[in-house]
Amino acid sequence: MSEKDIVFKGKIKQTGIFSFKDLYSFIYDWLREDAYDVFEKKYAEKVKGDSKDVEISWSAEKEISDYFKFNITVNWLILGMKTIEVQKDGKKVKMESASVELSFKAILVKDFEDRWENYPFWKFMRGIYERYIIKNRIDEYQVKLMEEQEELIAQCKSFLALEGQHRF
């Protein structure tokens, strides 16, 4: 079975005004531009009067080699989302007001094709291979994945900060 090392966990929380459609597209496009395949595992909406709660779960994967794969999970929790009108560049624009929480997890997946799992001796050899032969490569990939995750979080924070600056 493949081994999964959790490299990074992070969370963004913000209450304010933003465009749900634009945020959704922004994160999706960012992941796709960085060569990730994005899978939506869950999308659920609960309507509560004039507002709704939205829960989304994504899994983004990128093969680095025939042995390594990056996996980023993004879990969305949007509470009390209401559509409002704001002034943007002199025009009335519909946006959303809500509490947004984005949870991120970055995972380095080793032997994702389970090539070393067929025999107990191969499992033993994989441990030696990872501990002594490719240890530096594993460390480099962990750093690279962490940097990608931190960049995604920084971009999301910037997007939400810019989107939230509107006058009523």
pLDDT 10s digits, 17-63: 999 999 999 999 999 999 999 999 999 999 999 999 999 999 999 99
Domain-embedded: residue 168: no
- Determine, yes or no, domain membership for 69: yes
| Structure-model confidence comparison of residues 132 and 105, the more confident one | 105
Instruction: Indicate the pTM of the whole model.
Output: 0.87
Give residue 167's pLDDT band: very low, low, confident or very high (50, 70, 90): very low
Taken in order 130, 35, 14, 100, is the CA torsion positive or negative? negative
User: What pLDDT sits at residue 8?
Assistant: 94
- Distance (Å, rounded) from C-alpha 134 to C-alpha 164? 45
Band (164; pLDDT cuts 50, 70, 90) = low
Domain that residue 71 falls in: 3-163
Quick: pLDDT tens for 118-148.
778 877 888 888 888 999 999 999 999 999 9
% residues pLDDT > 90 (the chain):
69
Distance CA 13, CA 76 (A): 10
Query: Which pLDDT value is given to residue 3?
Result: 86
Tell me how far the alpha carbon of residue 118 is from its chain's centroid. Answer: 32
In a domain? residue 90: yes
Across residues 74-97, what is the average pLDDT?
Answer: 90
Q: Look at the chain and report how many structural domains it folds into.
A: 1
Residue identified by tokens 């081994």 is: 3
The rounded percent of the chain whose pLDDT value lies above 70 is 96
Above 80 in pLDDT, residue 166? Answer: no
**Residue 132 placed within a domain:** yes
- Asked whether the predicted pLDDT for residue 165 surpasses 70, the reply is no
What type of residue is 126?
Answer: R
